[in-house]
């Protein structure tokens, strides 16, 4: 919803609560998605207001609404609920939603929730809590429809009508044998159009896709995309079904993984809470360690500049162009890193394709480097000719005049940029593959390291071209 609509919704809901207009509150929940209502009240911390909403709407809406609230609001509700009210809420909730909620809550709140949970729900929640974070087991739900192979279509439809409302999805039925081993799946449309006396084994899909409880959640999301799934079975090491993952879980996984990658490539610790709800001190703690670490890594750039201090002091114009060269290299390397990390994450190629990618990137880098170098040469000549860059510090030998000195300075920068473009893109291309090879997350490693390495290479190239070629041949500036 648009921001103005959210504000209007908030005003309508809070007005209805204030007037104790039960019918209006119910009407809002009947016509507006729960996630939009939760967004409308995201800054409401008055427990009486929240409690009134929960007492007016029916338990099904209340459970879905609870799952969308912030952890602080969920804690307020749990603390205010009686044990009976909490049990009613839990009974209408899915185990994975309850698990997601209590993972963010204090230990005493978690213990209370588990204490009042019905035995079956408590077992499911404990099972989910014990799976390693970011695995299929940690995000699966245990509310699904499973049937034996010998169940008839008629009985299957009857069962879905009786029990299907409590399941996460009825569009995919999971079929097992007598040992609970997963043997196939049946789509709801196939079930409806099948003959009533047929068994599920006659119509089930035997080429189904499943995942293991220990599979990484990001890999599971890729399988959903690859095979165009809406639900997938999660099995243990004995191929027995223990839960399912649905498409709404995958959307959450993709959002979480994307946020993590963006944060890591920007050298920020993971942001688990929305920005506006994150305290200032937490934002500081997420950023400061990386900034300090990158400052330490920049010691190499400092050493290079220190090593060429004599050249810079005698020929000050050299210092004018160092930011340009370092920024251009960092930007180019960053572009490449982003493209390669994205392609690796989408499985467009893998580690064995490095040389194909490197050869292609080398050609791209050479073309980009040539274009940038030509543009930089012309732009720098313009800057020096109109006085944007002061060239009065250029000291020349008797062989050349001032205009030729400006040409040589522009050549120095342009040639450095050409080399830098090639090296930066090759570094940006190679680091993600190297990170994959040593089993590190490319998004964590590549952003900061690409910039640092490219800065070092750019400075070395810049000063070597100056000290070894241009100065000895044309300028003859000597240092005591």
Residue 3 has pLDDT above 80, yes or no: no
Which domain-ending residue is among 239, 258, 277?
258
210: which 2 tokens? 């499943």
Average pLDDT taken over every residue of the chain = 81
185 assigned to some structural domain: yes
365: which 2 tokens? 């880098």
> What b-and-e string marks burial along 292-321, b requiring 16 or more CB atoms within 10 Å of the CB?
eeeeebeeebeebeeebeebbebbebbebb
> What is the domain-level CATH number for residue 162?
3.10.580.10
243/392 same-domain check: no
The per-residue pLDDT for 476 is 63
Range of the domain at 241: 146-258
Q: What is the mean pLDDT of residues 301-328?
A: 80
Instruction: Report CA torsion sign: 432, 435, 439, 445.
Output: negative
SS (H, E, C) 259-288: HHHHHHHCCCCCCCCCHHHCCHHHHHHHHH
Provide the domain count of the chain. Answer: 3
452/327 same-domain check: yes
Query: pLDDT above 90 covers what percent of the chain?
Result: 18
466/337 same-domain check: yes
Q: How many residues does the chain have?
A: 480
> What is the domain-level CATH number for residue 44?
1.25.60.10
409 assigned to some structural domain: yes
467/328 same-domain check: yes
55: which 2 tokens? 């007492």
181/253 same-domain check: yes
220/320 same-domain check: no
Q: In terms of Cα–Cα distance, which of 7, 9, 51 is closest to 29?
A: 9
Residue 302 has phi, psi (to 5 degrees) of: -60, -40
The per-residue pLDDT for 4 is 47
The C-alpha atoms of residue 223 and residue 240 are separated, in whole angstroms, by 19
Which domain-ending residue is among 227, 258, 289?
258
426: which 2 tokens? 């090759």
Which domain-ending residue is among 258, 290, 317?
258
The per-residue pLDDT for 282 is 72
> What is the domain-level CATH number for residue 404?
1.10.357.20
Q: In terms of Cα–Cα distance, which of 179, 253, 241, 177 is closest to 209?
A: 241
Highest mean pLDDT among 54-58, 193-197, 449-453: 193-197
279 assigned to some structural domain: no
348 assigned to some structural domain: yes
Three-state DSSP class for 17? helix
98/171 same-domain check: no
114/152 same-domain check: no
Alpha helical stretches, state H, 41-116:
47-56, 59-68, 71-80, 83-91, 95-102, 107-116
138: which 2 tokens? 């940690």
What are the residues facing 176 on neighbouring strands? 148, 182
465 assigned to some structural domain: yes
Across 166-170, 209-213, 329-333, 344-348, least confident range: 344-348
**What does the pLDDT look like over 292-310, one tens digit per residue?**
776 777 777 778 877 877 7
Residue 426 has pLDDT above 80, yes or no: yes
202/73 same-domain check: no
The per-residue pLDDT for 231 is 92
SS (H, E, C) 183-207: EEEEEHHHHHHCCCCCEHHHHCECC
283 assigned to some structural domain: no
User: Could you give the angle at the alpha carbon of 398 between the alpha carbons of 394 and 413, nearest 5°?
Assistant: 35
Q: In terms of Cα–Cα distance, which of 32, 35, 33, 10 is closest to 252?
A: 35
E-strand stretches of 324-417: none
Q: What is the pLDDT confidence band of residue 314, given thresholds at 50, 70 and 90?
A: confident
221/319 same-domain check: no
Q: What is the pLDDT confidence band of residue 479, given thresholds at 50, 70 and 90?
A: very low
pTM of this structure: 0.53
Residue 279 has pLDDT above 80, yes or no: no
Q: What is the pLDDT confidence band of residue 82, given thresholds at 50, 70 and 90?
A: confident
- Report whether 340 contacts 347 (CB < 8 A): no
206 assigned to some structural domain: yes
DSSP 164: G
286 assigned to some structural domain: no
**What does the pLDDT look like over 223-242, one tens digit per residue?**
898 888 899 999 888 888 88
User: Could you give the angle at the alpha carbon of 143 between the alpha carbons of 140 and 146, nearest 5°?
Assistant: 105
13/99 same-domain check: yes
109/198 same-domain check: no
């Amino acid at each position: 919803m648009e921001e103005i609509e959210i504000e209007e919704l908030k005003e309508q809901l809070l007005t209805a609560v204030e007037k104790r207009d039960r019918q209006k509150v119910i009407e809002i929940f009947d016509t507006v998605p729960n996630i939009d209502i939760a967004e409308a009240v995201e800054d409401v911390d008055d427990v009486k207001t929240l409690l009134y909403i929960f007492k007016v709407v029916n338990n099904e809406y209340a459970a879905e609404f609870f799952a969308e609230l912030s952890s602080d609001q969920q804690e307020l509700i749990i603390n205010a609920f009686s044990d009976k009210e909490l049990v009613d809420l839990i009974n209408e909730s899915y185990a994975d939603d309850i698990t997601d909620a209590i993972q963010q809550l204090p230990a005493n709140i978690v213990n209370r929730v588990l204490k009042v949970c019905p035995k079956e729900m408590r077992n499911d929640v404990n099972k989910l809590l014990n799976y390693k974070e970011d695995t299929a087991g940690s995000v699966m739900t245990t509310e699904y429809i499973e049937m034996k192979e010998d169940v008839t279509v008629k009985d299957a439809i009857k069962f879905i009508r009786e029990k299907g409302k409590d399941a996460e999805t009825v569009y995919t039925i999971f079929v097992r044998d007598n040992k609970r081993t997963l043997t196939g799946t049946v789509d709801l449309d196939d079930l409806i159009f099948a003959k009533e006396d047929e068994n599920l084994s006659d119509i089930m899909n035997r080429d189904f896709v499943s995942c293991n409880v220990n599979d990484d959640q990001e890999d599971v999301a890729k399988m959903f995309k690859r095979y165009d799934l809406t639900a997938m079975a999660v099995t243990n090491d004995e191929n027995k079904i223990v839960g399912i993952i649905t498409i709404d879980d995958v959307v959450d996984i993709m959002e979480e993984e994307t946020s993590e990658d963006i944060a890591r490539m920007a050298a920020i610790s993971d942001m688990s809470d929305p920005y506006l709800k994150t305290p200032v001190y937490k934002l500081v703690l997420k950023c400061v360690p990386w900034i300090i670490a990158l400052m330490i890594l920049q010691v190499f750039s400092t050493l290079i500049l220190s090593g060429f201090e004599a050249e810079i002091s005698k020929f000050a114009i050299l210092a004018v162009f160092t930011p340009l060269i370092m920024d251009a290299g960092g930007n180019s390397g960053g572009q490449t890193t982003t493209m390669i990390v994205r392609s690796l994450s989408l499985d467009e190629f893998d580690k064995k394709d490095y040389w194909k990618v490197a050869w292609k990137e080398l050609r791209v880098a050479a073309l980009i480097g040539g274009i940038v170098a030509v543009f930089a040469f012309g732009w720098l000549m313009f800057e020096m000719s109109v006085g944007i860059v002061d060239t009065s510090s250029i000291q020349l030998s008797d062989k050349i005049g001032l205009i030729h000195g400006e040409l040589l300075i522009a050549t120095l920068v342009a040639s450095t940029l050409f080399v830098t473009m090639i090296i930066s893109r090759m570094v940006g291309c190679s680091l993600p593959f190297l990170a994959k090879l040593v089993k590190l997350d490319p998004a964590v490693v590549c952003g900061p390291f690409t910039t640092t390495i490219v800065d070092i290479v750019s400075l070395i190239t810049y000063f070597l071209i100056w000290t070894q070629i241009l100065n000895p041949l044309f300028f003859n500036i000597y240092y005591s």
